[in-house]
Structure 1
């Protein structure tokens, strides 16, 4: 199983916002921090706002911030929302299934169990778990947009 780039960027965006929870962060800051497309992030931010993960403020002094504490944002919830489909194989979708093996194949059940296990592991973790070492995360980002020292969950930036 491989997550889409969309889900990857959504998780990165949420992680960046969790690093600086007390201020509005711009899409451009996030794009610069990760070296990724601003246009893709705009679409992702809109969707994350629609699903209640982030709040957005438009305009010159606008930006993004988490809509709820990082501890309340489950990774499984984010992946379920950001993945177009979790259909691992054709037979997972009854409307489009044309597999001739479907009536007697055991693979669907095994893959379904594996998918449930994958999501169950993600459900055990929150966004806060991904940002417990903010200094290390910040050190990995492209340094054009430094994170304010007080934005690191109350910890000072070790850089």
Structure 2
């Protein structure tokens, strides 16, 4: 399974934001600089994370983002499912393209569907809190105090 960069960056935003002290906001600028990701692209991702109810945004000069709930309530499987929203593993998963000629008789779609379900079952076992357990080292790597 190959996740989109969008999803990868979304998880990074959550990790970075989850590392901030409770009442401290993260800014798109600092996340952008930490991970070398375009601020414009991060803005779209933060907007999506906000729509999903995972982050709260504060507008204005001293604005930024913060987690909308405790890290232990943010499920990684749920987050990835929502950010991917079109997990196309093989062509026959994609309803918008021409179907493979053998699709009506091929079992591959079912095998990949089973594998994709297993992938998400593993992710469902983890929360954001599980991703930020090594907080001292993560802070060092992200240049946080």
**TM class by shorter-chain length?**
over 0.9
Q: Determine the structure 1 residue equivalent to 2:122.
A: 121
Alpha-carbon distance between aligned partners in 2 of 1:97 and 1:81, rounded to the nearest angstrom: 25
Once superposed, what is the RMSD of the aligned Cα atoms? 1.3
Q: Does 1:53 align with 2:62?
A: no
- What is the SS of the residue equivalent to 2:3? coil
Question: How many residue pairs were aligned?
Answer: 144
Superposed, 1:1-159 pairs within 5 Å as 1-22=1-22, 23-141=24-142, 143=143, 146-147=144-145
1:108 deviation in Å?
0.7
The 10-residue stretch of structure 1 (82-91 or 115-124) with the greater mean CA deviation from structure 2: 82-91
The 10-residue stretch of structure 1 (80-89 or 108-117) with the greater mean CA deviation from structure 2: 80-89
1:21 deviation in Å?
4.3
Normalised to the residue count of structure 1, the TM-score between the two structures is: 0.85
Where structure 2 has 5 or more consecutive residues not aligned to the other structure, the ranges are: none
- What is the SS of the residue equivalent to 1:64? strand
Q: Deviations over 1:50-78 (max 9, x none)?
A: 11000000001111000011101111111
Normalised to the residue count of structure 2, the TM-score between the two structures is: 0.93
1:37 deviation in Å?
1.5
1:35 deviation in Å?
2.2
Alpha-carbon distance between aligned partners in 2 of 1:111 and 1:16, rounded to the nearest angstrom: 32
Where structure 1 has 5 or more consecutive residues not aligned to the other structure, the ranges are: 148-159
